[in-house]
Structure 1
Amino acid sequence: MLGLLLLQVLASCLWLGHSEVVNSFDDCAGFFYARIPPNDALNPKNPARICQRFNNSYHYATLYDRDRRIPVYSAYKYEPGSDKRPPGYWLVEPQLIGKNNLKEMTSEMTLINNHKFTLDQIKESQAVLDDYKGLKGLDRGHLSPSGHQCGKETKIATFTLTNIVPQDSTLNTGKWMAYECKTMPQKTQGCTTTYVITGAVPGNTYVSNNRVNRPSHIWSAACCLENKKPLKAWGAIAENSKNKVEQLSLEDLEKRLSNLYGGKVTLFNNACSQK
């Protein structure tokens, strides 16, 4: 009986240490204002909290939905740099596969050839390259965009499929791109630090043989600080079928998301100015 109890305790400990992505954002909490992630209203049934690590550094944080195979949101600091957009090769997250000691995003082929995983093992809890091939009218839409990052490695780190959703092509290259590339630089004038959370509301349809959810909405929220003091905040939201972006206050965005998710959403723990 004692032996059985010890086995149960050991099994529990092994599960708790199974992978850092399922527990908390402690290692990358600095990408959230006041080190506090959004509240649980956004959490899916089968979440993975990913500290997006590349080349031995953390670059942003992602809450990932294993069942729908899309990110719920990615959180990052807005720090655009002059480095060019990197080549578009795509990475996946080995920590979503199961028990292993791999802590960094890498390519499918590296996992298959060097670490002896099968493609089916990779596909079980995340999207793969094949899921985005041949999609009509949809792009691989970044939540944490490379254009908002400074430095080659951080830009490369945004090209992981755990940071990507099926986004309407016209929206992705139209009004959403304008928001990312024109509106954000304007709104962040005077900000010494800007925390951003960009997310996707799960939709009712799927792509790639019902493997990957097509979000109904894309949204983004920003918290602007001047010398560590909250200065202003704002939000944006777009239906993932129309080339239109609505800009609104953080408070109004949280109300809209609360209706869409069916629970009260708080993005910055009520700690950022909602002017």
Structure 2
Amino acid sequence: MLLLLLQVLASCLWLGHSEVVTSFESSCPQFFFQNTPPNEALVPQNPAWICQRYNNRYYFATLYDKTRRIPVYSAYIYQPASCGRPKTWLVEPEVSVLSSYPKMMKTEQSLSKEFKITLEEIGKHQAVLQDYTNLNGLNRGHLNPCCHQPDSDSKAATFTLTNIVPQNEKLNGGAWSIYEQQTMIKNTEGCKKTYVVVGAVPGNNYIANGRVNKPSYIWASACCEVNAKVRKTWAVIAENDRDEVESLTLGELEDKLTKLYGRSQVSLFDSACPRK
């Protein structure tokens, strides 16, 4: 009985340190302008709020849809650098069955070896590498791309399967890549700090025998601080079956997402970020 009580207590203490959290405001608000994440209009029926942690440090935040097994959005601070791509893909143990799993992203192999977790358990509420094999016209599209991160650990942290969606390969390597690597550099001229939220609108099609949703749209938004009083914003959206990116104001993107999601009015940033 004493052993059982100790096990329960240990489980509760570990749960208190969980990186799959109940709100971004109380756990990793630093990735959102004025500590204000997008409103509840984007929250799916089966969500996971993930403070993405790697090597004992937070790098970005992701709202994840555990039913569709894709991120709703990832939020981060833009700090561009050369894109040295890590070779290892990671998963989020705590999105899976037990909250007592490790609180940092790990590889599928290390989870299986260290904690005897099966691939079926890992993939119950999130995508696994096997889901992204044998793709036809699609590839692994980052929401938070490694080229928007400044060092090796922050780049490695973007290579979690909770940060990617099945993206049209021509779009990912074409117009979307131009936006990420050229337009963002141009748009952030004069910015002291740029907050970014990049997301995906769920679609009607799936890969991996219905396990992982293929988004209908990919979108991105940013709010930058020019100085203490001046801020500027921009946004883009792309259909996930063509190699085109449409430029929008922040307000136009929020209105478009409101129609696409069919819920309440979408708000991506604090009201201090201009909508026009």
Aligned ranges 1:128-167 → 2 under 5 Å: 128-167=128-167
What amino acid is aligned across from residue 231 of structure 1 in structure 2? R
Deviation at 1:86, TM superposition (A): 2.8
- What SS does the aligned partner of 1:229 have? coil
Offset from partner CA, 1:139-195 (integer Å, 9 cap, x none): 100000001111110001000000000000000000000000110000000000000
Aligned to 1:111: 111
Mapped partners of 1:165, 1:77: distance in 2: 20
Mapped partners of 1:87, 1:19: distance in 2: 26
Aligned to 2:65: 65
Mapped partners of 1:172, 1:228: distance in 2: 35
Is this contact kept in 2: 1:193–1:228, CA < 8 A? no
Q: TM-score of the superposition, structure 1-length normalised?
A: 0.92
Offset from partner CA, 1:176-224 (integer Å, 9 cap, x none): 0000011000000000000000000000011000000000000000001
Mapped partners of 1:119, 1:228: distance in 2: 49
Aligned to 2:272: 271
Offset from partner CA, 1:79-127 (integer Å, 9 cap, x none): 1124x41333200001112231411000000000011111110010000
Is this contact kept in 1: 2:234–2:249, CA < 8 A? yes
Q: TM-score of the superposition, structure 2-length normalised?
A: 0.91
Deviation at 1:18, TM superposition (A): 8.9
Deviation at 1:28, TM superposition (A): 1.3
Aligned to 2:248: 248
What amino acid is aligned across from residue 185 of structure 1 in structure 2? I
- Shift in CA distance, 258/15, structure 1 to aligned 2, threshold 3 Å: farther
Mapped partners of 2:181, 2:273: distance in 1: 23
Is residue 28 of structure 1 aligned with residue 28 of structure 2? Answer: yes
Aligned ranges 1:180-195 → 2 under 5 Å: 180-195=180-195
Unmatched tracts of structure 2, length 5 or more: 1-8
Mapped partners of 1:150, 1:259: distance in 2: 35
Mapped partners of 2:231, 2:28: distance in 1: 23
What amino acid is aligned across from residue 87 of structure 1 in structure 2? P
Mapped partners of 2:155, 2:17: distance in 1: 28
- What SS does the aligned partner of 2:28 have? helix
Mapped partners of 2:197, 2:230: distance in 1: 16
Aligned ranges 1:1-275 → 2 under 5 Å: 17=16, 19-25=18-24, 26-82=26-82, 84-97=83-96, 98-263=98-263, 264-275=265-276
What amino acid is aligned across from residue 143 of structure 1 in structure 2? L
- Shift in CA distance, 154/187, structure 1 to aligned 2, threshold 3 Å: same
What amino acid is aligned across from residue 129 of structure 1 in structure 2? L
Mapped partners of 1:113, 1:15: distance in 2: 21
Is this contact kept in 1: 2:15–2:100, CA < 8 A? no
What amino acid is aligned across from residue 57 of structure 2 in structure 1? S
- Shift in CA distance, 251/23, structure 1 to aligned 2, threshold 3 Å: same
- What SS does the aligned partner of 1:199 have? strand
Deviation at 1:20, TM superposition (A): 3.9
- Shift in CA distance, 227/146, structure 1 to aligned 2, threshold 3 Å: same
Structure 1 segments, 4+ long, off by >6 Å, are 13-16
Aligned to 1:6: none
Is this contact kept in 2: 1:62–1:71, CA < 8 A? yes
Is this contact kept in 2: 1:230–1:272, CA < 8 A? no
Mapped partners of 2:43, 2:111: distance in 1: 28
Mapped partners of 1:90, 1:128: distance in 2: 9
